[in-house]
Amino acid sequence: MTAAADQAGEIILRTRGVGKTFGKFVALNNISAEFARGAITSIIGPNGAGKSTYFNLLCGAFPPSNGSVEFEGKDVTGLPQHRFAHMGIAKSFQITSVFPQLTTRENIRVGLQALVSRYDIWRPRARLTELVERADALLALVGLWESRERAAKTLAHGEQRALEIGMALASQPRLLLLDEPTAGMSPEETRTMMDLIVKLAKERTVILVEHKMKLVLGISDRILVLHHGELLAEGTPQEVRQNEAVKRVYLGQREH
């Protein structure tokens, strides 16, 4: 059992009244939420509800217009994004974002390296053999071992999605933010990915945005529902599934 799991239940991340406006448009309004260590929390909500925006605030891609973000008890509001990564927050992008010309393995390796060496201009990187080993392990984990020497841009869409997750994992985050990790994956791979997420969550905290409700309801410990930039509902999967408002604006009538 890892330390993370020992302290399960403790609050790892907290937002206090965060909001984000783009020009006049309020994308996110006054969200206060807490995320427990070791849990899988899902954020759902209609398209354009502000989920990705919220994610971007949590991983520091841009600062909130108001409110504050607290990670492991420290106020991290407004820090540059790379600092978030150093602290142990990683995110996968909703729209695939990899290093296109580099090989799949190098993609992961570079992700790993960020924790070890960023400004060393002298020692050969070949000496960091351990990184390659860990990269290979991660490649195997996300099912890209066979494609390790291919340039990332030649991977099929689904494969790139898997690489996306692998890269997020590379920085060994304590908090993993996954923005629609299974979008574009076939059901079979989605299933594998779901298993992987559950496995990952044993050692770290996961926050997930997904539209595939079966998956979300199946693996989440807690669910937040955003709507029009506001927190519409919050609770266990059961509670959320029963929530009328959520049904109306998001789930629809069909049984998911």
Ligand X SMILES: Nc1ncnc2c1ncn2[C@@H]1O[C@H](COP(=O)(O)OP(=O)(O)OP(=O)(O)O)[C@@H](O)[C@H]1O
3-state helix, strand, coil in the chain (%, to 5): 40, 25, 35
Stretch that binds Mg ion, among 72-80, 85-93, 156-164, 230-238 (CB under 5 A): 156-164
User: What is the contact mask toward another protein in residues 219 to 248, using x (rule: CB under 8 A)?
Assistant: ------------------------------
Closer residue to another protein (CB): 6 or 130: 130
Cα 234 to Cα 147: distance, rounded to the nearest angstrom: 40
Say if CB 242 and CB 51 are below 8 A apart: no
User: What is the contact mask toward ligand X in residues 17 to 36, using x (rule: CB under 6 A)?
Assistant: -----x--x-x---------
Q: How far is CA 233 from the centre of its chain?
A: 21
User: What is the contact mask toward another protein in residues 17 to 56, using x (rule: CB under 8 A)?
Assistant: -----x--x-------------------xxxxx-xx----
Residue 2 tokens read as: 């890892």
Instruction: State yes or no: residue 94 binds Mg ion (CB under 5 A).
Output: yes
Residue 238's Cβ-count burial label (10 Å; 0-12, 13-18, 19+) is: exposed
Instruction: State yes or no: residue 134 binds another protein (CB under 8 A).
Output: no
Segment 170 to 209, residues that bind another protein, using CB under 8 A: 170-171, 180, 183-191, 194
Q: Which of 1, 47, 124, 255 binds ligand X (CB under 6 A)?
A: 47
User: What is the contact mask toward ligand X in residues 133 to 172, using x (rule: CB under 6 A)?
Assistant: ---------------------xxxxxx-------------
Cα 92 to Cα 162: distance, rounded to the nearest angstrom: 10
Pairing of strands 230-235, 222-227: antiparallel
Task: Spell out the long-range contacts of 142-150 with Cβ–Cβ below 8 A and sequence spacing 24 or more.
Answer: 142/166, 142/169, 142/196, 143/189, 143/192, 144/104, 147/104, 148/103, 148/104, 148/105, 149/103, 149/104, 149/105, 150/103, 150/104
Q: Which of 4, 18, 29, 50 binds ligand X (CB under 6 A)?
A: 50
Segment 190 to 249, residues that bind ligand X, using CB under 6 A: none
Cα 210 to Cα 178: distance, rounded to the nearest angstrom: 8
Q: Which of 19, 38, 45, 173 binds ligand X (CB under 6 A)?
A: 45
Stretch that binds ligand X, among 40-48, 134-142, 195-203, 230-238 (CB under 6 A): 40-48
What does 212 bind: another protein, ligand X, Mg ion, none (CB cut-off 5 to 8 Å by kind)? another protein
